[in-house]
Amino acid sequence: MAAASRDGLVDVAYTSVDTPVGSLLLAATGTGLVRVAFESEDHDLVLDTLAGRLGPRVLRAPARLDRVARELDEYFAGTRTRFDLPLDLALSRGFRRLVQRRLAEIEYGDTWSYARVARLVGNPGAVRAVGTACATNPLPIVLPCHRVLRADGTLGGYAGGPARKSALLALEAGGRTGARSGETG
């Protein structure tokens, strides 16, 4: 396996890690982290999708994802507030990719509304499309779509489910004074 990875014979390297929000599938290409998936998303199905979209050579290669796993551990320990990882946004296109890139701008412990994100990407009427972009975010936690809430401050949807979204927000609120100060409108 190490030789295949070293020799560039792997399209997607993956591993799974245990976290306070359950098992996460981590997948990377030679460009960077391409997918983070919750257990509820069915890891086998996610791997099949990655093989179909990015290439059939999908290999369990935990060492290739050590840095990602370490940064996630630091995040869940409350010692990391921003990820510093190479990312591969190949699974997103157009408006969705534009929205997902902006998610990294939401500070740890802060929240934005879907409407605010829509305004920031230059399309204030696209609140539902922003919701779809967040729902299809291939890199949850790392690109923090959990920090995007409805205008009334309620959670909205989340690929990992509302309990995980609440847990991530609570983790971040515990790590910062005045943590949930973001604009909701």
What amino acid positions are annotated as catalytic residues?
A: 145
What is the C-alpha separation between 111 and 90, in angstroms, rounded? 26
Task: Give the number of other CB atoms < 10 A from CB of residue 177.
Answer: 7
Is residue 183 within 8 Å of 115, Cβ to Cβ? no
State the SS3 of the chain: CHHHHHCCCCCEEEEEEEECCEEEEEEECCCCEEEEEEHHHCHHHHHHHHHHHHCCCEEECHHHHHHHHHHHHHHHHCCCCCCCCCECCCCCCHHHHHHHHHHCCCCCCCCEEHHHHHHHCCCCCCHHHHHHHHHCCCCCCCCCHHHEECCCCCCCCCCCCHHHHHHHHHHHHHCCCCCCCCCCC
